[in-house]
């Protein structure tokens, strides 16, 4: 059974940094994408960053140069390091998993497995 648990959210001032973690377990496919999405009330969920099993990463234009996605293979933990945070980064951030995949950007897939989300609030 797939299990995704996010942590690391919180409140931070504009320009600050946060690091989100997602503990991922419960699948055996070695061909997958892991990704971070975010959602604000009344808006559609937005893909933020994707990590393909071969290490290829993809980012939304709005976060390029500020966010970094990475994965610790020994612990199977997905990270999202966020810096130079802006008020518009405020959202609930979700970790997501999809498999099998067939190449391309991990932000182009429709994901079937989701964590419960963690709130990130950026204020001045």
pLDDT at 51: 97
Burial of 38 (0-12, 13-18, 19+ CB in 10 A): buried
Is the pLDDT at 75 greater than 90? The verdict is no
pLDDT at 48: 98
CA 108 to chain centre: 14
What is the rounded average pLDDT of the residues 55-78? 96
- Which pLDDT band, with edges at 50, 70 and 90, does 7 fall under? very high
- Which pLDDT band, with edges at 50, 70 and 90, does 10 fall under? very high
pLDDT at 63: 98
Q: Are 109 and 33 in contact (CB under 8 A)?
A: yes
pLDDT at 86: 98
Is the pLDDT at 124 greater than 90? The verdict is no
Give the C-alpha separation, 71 to 60, whole Å: 18
């Amino acid at each position: 059974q797939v299990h995704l648990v996010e942590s690391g959210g919180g409140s931070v001032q504009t320009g600050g940094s946060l690091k989100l973690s997602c503990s991922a377990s419960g699948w055996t496919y070695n061909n997958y994408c892991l990704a971070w999405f975010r959602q604000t009330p009344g808006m559609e969920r937005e893909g933020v960053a994707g990590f393909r099993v071969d290490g290829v990463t993809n980012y939304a234009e709005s976060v390029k140069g500020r966010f970094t996605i990475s994965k610790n293979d020994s612990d199977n933990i997905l990270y999202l390091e966020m810096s130079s945070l802006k008020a518009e980064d405020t959202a609930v951030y979700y970790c997501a998993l999809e498999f099998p995949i067939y190449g391309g950007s991990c932000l182009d897939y429709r994901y079937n497995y989701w964590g419960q989300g963690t709130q990130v609030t950026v204020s001045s």
